[in-house]
Structure 1
Amino acid sequence: MSDLPPDLPRLRTLETWLQLSLDRIRQQITAEEQRLAAEAARRDPLPTPGWLIEHGIGVGRAPVRVHAGGCWDTRSRCKPADRDTARRALAEGVEACTHCRPDTALGVLD
């Protein structure tokens, strides 16, 4: 003996109610997953790059300054760089930051 109603209209009503309930549950799951992902992103910031190259303003945006990764004097125009790229930029005449002295840390002195 089944605990479900025997007639089609009531079965369809139950089906609709269950579908709506399942949709609400899935929406809640999605919202919770997004909340947890945002929380994890705040908790686990991206690692600081070892070196940064600051670019100028305008067309071409040539490199203007090299910084160590944790320098406080960086601007929004900085891009991460690896050790070799930072050394090459300094060797090509790009200015070293006077605060963090990446030229000293990289062993590239004039």
Structure 2
Amino acid sequence: MSDTPSPLELLRFARRVVAQQAAASLAQIDGWIATEERREAERLRGEEARPEPPKWVVEQGLNRDNVVAVHQGRCWDAGKRRRPVTRDQAVEALRQQVPACTHCRPDTALGILE
């Protein structure tokens, strides 16, 4: 009797090894998929829970008493120092010569044309 395994035994052993590696790889990929599905569900819940932006905002100066510009609520150029205002407050600010944003044109949206 020889201690060396037969070619058939080696092939069966190789098949078991490959099957185990494939199962481990599939389990890892399934874990990645589950993680991404959880992230996507959390992102969607976050979007649903996010409050609507205000319709109108005013951009304030450094001293907070100075109003620099009037913007629509979703304007990308509103700056960090902004606060929400009502439609009437936005109209009043425009009437007091506060500049309208040149990008979102709140004066046009409010129907105030000079």
The alignment's TM-score, normalised by the length of structure 2, stands at 0.57
Structure 2 counterpart of 1:102: 106
Question: Runs (4+) of structure 1 moved beyond 3 Å?
Answer: none
Unaligned segments of structure 2, at least 5 residues: 1-42
**Percent identical residues:** 46
1:95 aligned counterpart, secondary structure = coil
RMSD of Structure 2 on Structure 1 (CA): 2.0
> How far apart, CA to CA, are the structure 1 residues paired with 2:67 and 2:113?
18
Query: 1:74: Cα distance to partner?
Result: 1.3
Structure 2 counterpart of 1:34: none
The 5-angstrom pairing of residues 1-110 of structure 1 reads 42-43=46-47, 44-58=49-63, 60-110=64-114
Computing the radius of gyration from Cα coordinates, the structure with the larger value is 2
Query: 1:61: Cα distance to partner?
Result: 2.8
> How far apart, CA to CA, are the structure 2 residues paired with 1:67 and 1:109?
15
- Return the letter of the residue paired with 1:93: Q
The alignment's TM-score, normalised by the length of structure 1, stands at 0.59
- Return the letter of the residue paired with 1:64: V
Structure 2 counterpart of 1:33: none
Unaligned segments of structure 1, at least 5 residues: 1-38
Whichever structure has more helix as a proportion of its residues is: 2
